[in-house]
Amino acid sequence: MNQVIARPILKLKSRLQRIPVKDMAPNPDNPREEESRFDVTDIRQSLESVGEILVPLVVCPNRKRRKSSDPKYIILDGERRWRAASELAKKDRRFSKVPANVVSGQLSKYENLKTMFNIHMKRKEWSTSAVAEALDDLFRTRPSLKNASVKNIAFETGLGNTEVREAMQFLRMPADDRDRALRGDLDEYYLILLSRNMRSIQNGFPKLITDDNWHSIAKIFIKRVDDGWIDDARSFISLGKAARECLDKGRPDVFERSFSELLKDPKQTPDDTLKQVESELLITTEKEFLKQAKLFLRMLRTFLGQSDYRVGVETNVILQELRSEAEKTTV
């Protein structure tokens, strides 16, 4: 069960206490998705079975406390366990107090966010959208960190380098759509793959996608998701693939024209564009030819490898014709 998973120990001074659940409150800086935050059925069932919380929460003094009715502590780790215990406490007094490691001193918002990162990311329980929003908050509290290297950001947060890059890329998407992903109203994978392949296009075609038109282009594709024309996030992979194939063939004009048509036609998908590009570049035909050529070559080697069989005149003529055609393509 979730409540018995071992938690990482941070390098923070703390002391273990039993604290009334009524004296605690959720962390306002926690970016956890709403659905996962309030669905504590699994935790509640585990607590009922065990009879107590085995893994202490981590809390810190509420730095915004102004009056006695305000909560004394803010939860840094264990919000779902706290919610489950609070529900059970209504009918079982054993859960009216829970074990918690109280971090000494009041944490600044920056320290709060940094601590949450180092706790939660060790367990990989935040989605990309949640990581991105928490990282955005972290940048607001310390703007200089936004311009730091990926390695330094990873060191501060406990994230991996790839996770930092993915989260920062995710932050380039429109804020309202990021909010939808955080709420679960939009599958975040659409934004992840769209952003990743838009970046690929921007690298190869900097005039097509710029920092100025990034949001407007993203909105065009997200609307097609909402309208049902794009029903698989992997469709966005076709965008990057079409761009790369045009560059590999030395035909950037083909992608520029196809991408422009894609943006204008509200019913066209990235998969349609990839097919159009491959057809124009004859990539599909070439792939089929390559497949057949490899098969023929294997057959030829097997045939010629039979030392006891003499090649006939007609076969020799065909082989000479093949050689002649091959020499034409290499001139």
Q: Do 303 and 264 share a structural domain?
A: no
- What pLDDT, on a 0 to 100 scale, did the predictor assign at position 32? 60
Q: Smallest Cα–Cα separation from 173: which of 117, 220, 207, 205? A: 220
In a domain, 274, yes or no: yes
Residue 40: predicted pLDDT: 77
pTM: 0.61
Distance CA 208, CA 204 (A): 9
Same domain, 18 and 108: yes
Structure tokens at 300: 């030829």
**Which tokens belong to 193?**
């793959």
Query: What is the per-residue pLDDT for 182?
Result: 84
H/E stretch holding 76: strand 73-77
Domain termination site, one of 70, 95, 120: 120
Phi, psi torsion values for 41, nearest 5 degrees: -55, -45
Q: For 88, phi and psi rounded to 5 degrees?
A: -70, -30
Buried b (16+ CB within 10 A) or exposed e, 16-54: eeebebeebbebebbbbbeeeeeebeebbebbeeeeebe
What is the reported pLDDT for 33?
Answer: 55
In a domain, residue 146? The reply is no
Kindly give the confidence (pLDDT) of every residue in the chain, 331 residues in length, as a single tens digit, with 9 standing for 90 and above.
343 333 333 455 667 889 999 999 988 877 765 555 566 787 888 888 778 887 888 888 888 888 888 999 988 888 888 999 999 999 888 899 998 888 877 677 777 777 777 666 555 567 888 888 888 888 888 888 888 899 888 887 777 888 889 999 999 999 999 989 888 889 999 999 999 999 999 999 999 999 999 999 999 999 999 999 999 999 999 999 999 999 998 899 999 999 999 999 999 999 999 999 998 888 766 676 778 888 888 887 887 777 566 777 887 888 888 888 777 765 5
Q: Give the count of domains, the chain.
A: 3
Residues 6+ apart with CB under 8 A from 55: 3, 4, 5, 6, 7, 78, 81
Model pLDDT, residue 324: 83
- pLDDT computed for residue 219 by the predictor: 97
Dihedrals φ, ψ of 57, to 5°? Answer: -75, 170
Can you give the residue range of the structural domain that contains 274? Answer: 188-280
Count CB-CB contacts under 10 A for residue 270: 24
Burial of 288 (0-12, 13-18, 19+ CB in 10 A): exposed
The CATH number of residue 95's host domain is 3.90.1530.10
Looking at the fold, whether 299 and 212 belong to one and the same domain comes out as no
- Is 34 part of a structural domain of the chain? yes
Predicted local distance difference test score (pLDDT) of residue 314: 84
